[in-house]
Homo-oligomer: A and B are copies of this chain.
Amino acid sequence: MAEREVDRSVSQTVKAQLALRDQILSGSLRPGERISELQAVETTGASRTPVRMALVRLEEEGLLEAIPSGGFMVKAFSERDISDSIELRGTLEGLAARFAAERGVSARELEPLKECLAAIDELLRQVPISIEAFSSYVTLNARFHALLTELSRSPPLVRQIDRAAALPFASPSGFVMAQSALPEAQQILIIAQEHHRVVIDAIENREGARAEAVMREHARLAVRNLRLALRNRTHLDLLPALALIKTATD
């Protein structure tokens, strides 16, 4: 290789994976579209071997689909695929919460969760919420969910939850973003925050069933509001990932 600039700080494989995922989620590559390796080589700057590794990883991640005759295409999701994935994640997070409650969590471990909770409370006190605060909310909410998941002390479960969140809109952040278009966004966030509060309380009091139930309800709230948000599609044009949802089916 002569003139290709190589960034040696991260592996080419990782670089290609990030670049391709970005292209998919940003909508540069449309669902159903075949990904050409050669084209990916040009856009990512890596060579074919790392690109192929990245493609395999993205396929396992669920964003790509293998074409029987060879190669990969961008996977298309129905609205139901997305809502199922959210409910799926809620179910898994419910299990995580139950594990946490049943297995016991020390006050020290719960501390970061409570800090997160307090920080979100602080944000929600603003009426109406500012753009910056909303952006912070997205981060804090993702952090809360990640911490909660960790409390289960179950690596296989954590792994599965991460997987379930791979689909666009199925991650904590994606879900919040989707709802941002709704006029009732702030009320929704307040209800969600109440769920957060309840799950911590339940874990603290070792009420596994209650902890599980509230996380599932949390997901159902998300599903309901994603549906509403999708009806308001005009407000969502800022979210290119939306293009991933095929409009025809479902």
A residues in contact (CB < 8 Å) with B = 49, 52-53, 56-57, 60-62, 80-81, 84-85, 87-88, 91-92, 95, 99, 154-157, 159-160, 163-164, 167
Known A-B contacts A88-B92, A160-B164, A164-B160; A155 and B81 likewise in contact (beta carbons under 8 Å):
yes
Which residues of the other chain, B, contact A61 by a CB distance below 8 angstroms? 60
**How far is the CB of A112 from the nearest CB of chain B, in Å?**
23
Which residues of the other chain, B, contact A99 by a CB distance below 8 angstroms? 84
Known A-B contacts A60-B60, A91-B92, A163-B163; A156 and B85 likewise in contact (beta carbons under 8 Å):
yes
**8 interchain residue pairs of minimum CB distance:** A60-B60, A84-B154, A85-B156, A56-B56, A91-B95, A84-B156, A81-B156, A53-B56
Which of B53, B57, B88, B95 interacts with A156 by CB under 8 Å? Answer: B88
- Pair A88/B56 contact, Cβ less than 8 Å: no
- Pair B167/A62 contact, Cβ less than 8 Å: no
**How far is the CB of A224 from the nearest CB of chain B, in Å?**
15
**How far is the CB of A64 from the nearest CB of chain B, in Å?**
12
A156 to B88, alpha carbons, bound, how many Å? 8
29 A-B interface contacts by CB (under 8 A): A49-B49, A49-B52, A52-B53, A53-B53, A53-B56, A56-B57, A56-B60, A57-B60, A60-B60, A60-B61, A62-B156, A62-B159, A81-B154, A81-B156, A84-B154, A84-B156, A84-B157, A87-B95, A88-B92, A88-B95, A88-B156, A88-B157, A91-B91, A91-B95, A156-B164, A156-B167, A160-B163, A160-B164, A163-B163
Which residues of the other chain, B, contact A53 by a CB distance below 8 angstroms? 52-53, 56
13 additional contacts (CB under 8 A) given A60-B60, A91-B95: A49-B49, A56-B57, A56-B60, A57-B60, A60-B61, A62-B159, A80-B154, A81-B154, A84-B154, A84-B156, A156-B164, A156-B167, A163-B163
A52 to B13, alpha carbons, bound, how many Å? 12
Which residues of the other chain, B, contact A62 by a CB distance below 8 angstroms? 156, 159
